[in-house]
Amino acid sequence: MFNKVPTVLRSKEIIDKCFSRAARITAPEGINRTQGAKTQCIDKVSTVESIAVAYLKKLVRKFPSTDHLHPFYLDLLDMSFDIDAYKMSLGKLQWSHEKLVELATKSIKSLKRKQKIRDMNTVVREYYGRFASVIEDLSSDLEMLSRCRDQMKRIPEIDVNLPTFLIAGMPNVGKSSLVASLSTARPRVASFPFTTKNISIGYLQIGHEKVQVIDTPGVLDRPMTDRNEMEKKAISALNKIDGKILFLFDYSDTSGYTTESQEALYREVVEASGKDIIRIQTKIDMSQGAREDIAISSVTGEGLGDLKERLAGLLEVKTS
């Protein structure tokens, strides 16, 4: 959906595009000069109008309406730009193309009544002037939409029809490593917190079922108001994307976070998401024994087979 959002031209580019196309229109041959000039003038006005209107309509159609947007996308957009300003800009584009149609209709009516070529040219010139000022008036809206588009392009496309596992946990506990071991995704893994800055998606085949695995940035056990943008993205994904949550615990003492703080975050996610949550212990190769039913190592591969069986069980699909 976001990949269908077209590039946004600047006001000047739209005006140039319309005027240069109209400049190529010539008078038809084989009729008298005045009639020919009239046809040419009408063609120019309607060409300028139709190119601009088609373009503005396309923008209004292809930029997603926030009324029908998935709540998770809405949260992400809300973090990147002012949604109300976005809606206003789209509204202004809509209004402007109606205004352009009205201006062209009036000018064409007036052209039809003119007898002198000089008067016809004046009507066209006036129309061009009014047209250009309507488009120039859209400058800041077009710039705003262009910036919105840049943000939209960075949003990963979740497939709401696929069974989904969301990977959650504190920073540095091994979320991205697990996503990389299980799925097609190759997220960056590093030994410091907040390596993952955005939501990313990998795919995994379980039996005949294609499954989506969503990596999220780490979240600290602290009040929502103190959380950074990465944590907010993670919380939004965990609460608003349908799926089951795999909550990772690291008891190896290498993540830098205590068991208590991991438990506190776990309780928060249980309460806020209202979802089924599966507890998984990570880095079993570095830990002193298993403390959870499911304990894995993304480094040695230990426990990954069992984990996949459990996931298949949760989805009620057969793996053999």
Ligand X SMILES: Nc1nc2c(ncn2[C@@H]2O[C@H](COP(=O)(O)OP(=O)(O)OP(=O)(O)O)[C@@H](O)[C@H]2O)c(=O)[nH]1
From the CB of 134, what's the least distance to ligand X, in Å? 48
From the CB of 196, what's the least distance to Mg ion, in Å? 3
Surface-to-core class of residue 171, CB atoms within 10 Å of its CB (0-12 exposed, 13-18 middle, 19+ buried): buried
Q: Of 13-21, 63-71, 125-133, 191-199, which segment contacts Mg ion by CB under 5 A?
A: 191-199
By a kind-dependent CB cut-off of 5 to 8 A, residue 207 interacts, out of ligand X, Mg ion, none, with none
In the complex with ligand X, the residue whose CB is nearer, 268 or 285, is 285
Q: Are 256 and 193 in contact (CB under 8 A)?
A: yes
Residue entry with tokens 């503005």: 56
By a kind-dependent CB cut-off of 5 to 8 A, residue 163 interacts, out of ligand X, Mg ion, none, with none
Looking only at residues 155 through 174 of this chain, which bind ligand X when binding is defined by CB under 6 A?
169, 171-174
Alpha carbons 9 and 222: distance in angstroms, whole number: 43
Using CB under 6 A as the binding rule, whether residue 89 contacts ligand X is answered as: no
Using CB under 5 A as the binding rule, whether residue 196 contacts Mg ion is answered as: yes
Surface-to-core class of residue 129, CB atoms within 10 Å of its CB (0-12 exposed, 13-18 middle, 19+ buried): exposed
In eight-state DSSP terms, residue 251 is: -
Token reading at 138: 């859209």
Looking only at residues 168 through 187 of this chain, which bind Mg ion when binding is defined by CB under 5 A?
175-176
Looking only at residues 172 through 231 of this chain, which bind ligand X when binding is defined by CB under 6 A?
172-177, 189-191, 193-196, 217-218
Q: Are 89 and 9 in contact (CB under 8 A)?
A: no
Q: Are 22 and 48 in contact (CB under 8 A)?
A: yes
Q: How many residues bind ligand X (CB under 6 A)?
A: 24
In the complex with ligand X, the residue whose CB is nearer, 112 or 291, is 291
Considering only CA atoms, which of 140, 134, 71 is closest in space to residue 102? 134
Provide the pairing of β-strand 200-206 with 277-282: unpaired
From the CB of 260, what's the least distance to ligand X, in Å? 18
Residue number, nearest CB to ligand X:
218
In the complex with ligand X, the residue whose CB is nearer, 102 or 253, is 253
Q: Between the CA atoms of 128, 134, 135 and 136, what dihedral angle is there, to the nearest 10 degrees?
A: 100
Q: Which residues bind Mg ion (CB under 5 A)?
A: 175-176, 195-196
Q: Which residues bind ligand X (CB under 6 A)?
A: 169, 171-177, 189-191, 193-196, 217-218, 282-283, 285-286, 297-299
